[in-house]
Amino acid sequence: MPRRLLAAAAAAAAALSLVTTSSAAQADTGPLDYVALGDSYSAASGVLPPDPTAPLLCLRSTRNYPHVLAARTGAELTDVTCGAAQTSHFTTAQYPGVAPQVAALGADTDLVTMTIGGNDSGVFVGAILSCGAAGILTLGRGSPCKDKFGSRFEDTVRASTYPALVAALRAVRAKAPNAEVAVLGYPWILPATGGCFDRMPVATGDVPYLRSLQATLNDAVARAAAATGATYVDFGAVSEGHDACQRFGVRWIEPVLQTTNPVVVHPNALGEAAMATRTISVLGLG
């Protein structure tokens, strides 16, 4: 074969190889197969508009952080988040006709996110309700909740919620062995001190008490993530100053009174968007 034809054939082969490599690279960088699990903080319960594809009792919003994250990254989202979910609902049905959440996972799942643990044993929700009732009775003075319950709530988180979180995350890993798993902490509900009795009826002395309980819950989530190879998305610093005592447009969590959401003490749309932004940053998806 003449030298010129040999050179042309070599160039053609190189070009074909480049096209093949480029096509393979495009295939490898397709949309993420993203599954969102978790409770009402994941579902954005109370934020309008509701997700028409969700079971009615799950109170899922189309403005929850999974939808925001998927829209910003181009990920293909399967959203099975559900308000009031506990860790047990990863492997058992929460409501009749609602499959266990891990049923949405598979070997092809690329990304899993969740907030979970806050509803377990009724500890966190129970503490907020108990402390609110106690605060009303004392007109916001003293620390009636701390005086009555002491370390009971935090002890339950350490003894019961933590191992339940580990079991739930192991169930996720078993169903989605190739996925990046991200577990979000809960943004601050109350400031470190002071409070806002007109919006969050918690006695002044119980504000740091509930804040400590939330820190203990987030610590349990972080430790469970570390124990199972998941990524913990920490909101301790970024949610400071965005608690339920702040004005509308600044707060990420809605208060009990003077609220804009029917589901109180939960993230609003601003909070959900901030949760998505933080998760994208921690996971390097942006």
**Residues 27-46 pLDDT 10s:** 456 899 999 999 999 999 99
Instruction: Pick the closest to residue 261 from 170, 173, 199 (CA basis).
Output: 199
Instruction: Pick the closest to residue 161 from 84, 87, 235, 85 (CA basis).
Output: 87
pLDDT surpassing 50 at residue 23: no
Average pLDDT over residues 97-103: 97
Under DSSP, is residue 248 helix (H, G, I), strand (E, B) or coil?
A: coil
Average pLDDT over the chain reads 91
HSE-CB of 86 using CA atoms within 13 angstroms? 18
Q: Sign (positive/negative) of CA torsion 44, 118, 188, 166?
A: negative
Helix axes 65-73, 269-283, angle to 10 degrees: 50
Which pLDDT score, from 0 to 100, does residue 126 have? 86
161 in Cβ contact with 120 (< 8 Å): yes
89-99 pLDDT tens trace:
999 999 999 99
Average pLDDT over residues 112-126: 94
Between 3.40.50.150, 3.40.50.1110, 3.40.50.300, 3.90.1150.170, what CATH number should domain 31-283 receive? 3.40.50.1110
Q: Which sequence spans correspond to the domains of the chain? A: 31-283
**What's this model's pTM, rounded to 2 decimal places?**
0.89
17 in Cβ contact with 25 (< 8 Å): no
Which pLDDT score, from 0 to 100, does residue 31 have? 96
User: With bands split at pLDDT 50, 70 and 90, how would you rate the model's confidence at 13?
Assistant: very low
The residue assigned the tokens 């997700």 is 51
pLDDT surpassing 70 at residue 69: yes
260 in Cβ contact with 254 (< 8 Å): yes
Which pLDDT score, from 0 to 100, does residue 8 have? 43
Catalytic status, residue 266: yes
CA dist., res. 104 & res. 37, Å (int): 9
33 - beta bridge partners? 76
pLDDT surpassing 60 at residue 272: yes
Q: What's the CA angle centered on 64, arms 241 and 128, to 5 degrees?
A: 55
Catalytic hit among 23, 40, 45, 239 = 40
Tokens describing residue 249: 């447009």
Q: What's the one-letter identity of residue 134?
A: A
Q: Which residues fall within 8 angstroms of residue 217, CB to CB, at 6 or more apart?
A: 117, 118, 123, 124, 157, 161, 186
The residue assigned the tokens 């954005």 is 44
* Integer CA distances (angstroms), 186 to 9, 123, 165, 203, in order: 61, 14, 14, 22
Catalytic hit among 67, 89, 242, 266 = 266
- What is the DSSP track for 210-241? HHHHHHHHHHHHHHHHHHHTPEEE--TTTTTT
Under DSSP, is residue 83 helix (H, G, I), strand (E, B) or coil?
A: coil
Average pLDDT over residues 186-197: 97
pLDDT surpassing 60 at residue 11: no
Which pLDDT score, from 0 to 100, does residue 28 have? 57
Residues 231-247, buried b or exposed e (16+ Cβ, 10 A)?
bbbbbeebbeebbbbbe
Average pLDDT over residues 159-171: 98
CA dist., res. 206 & res. 129, Å (int): 12
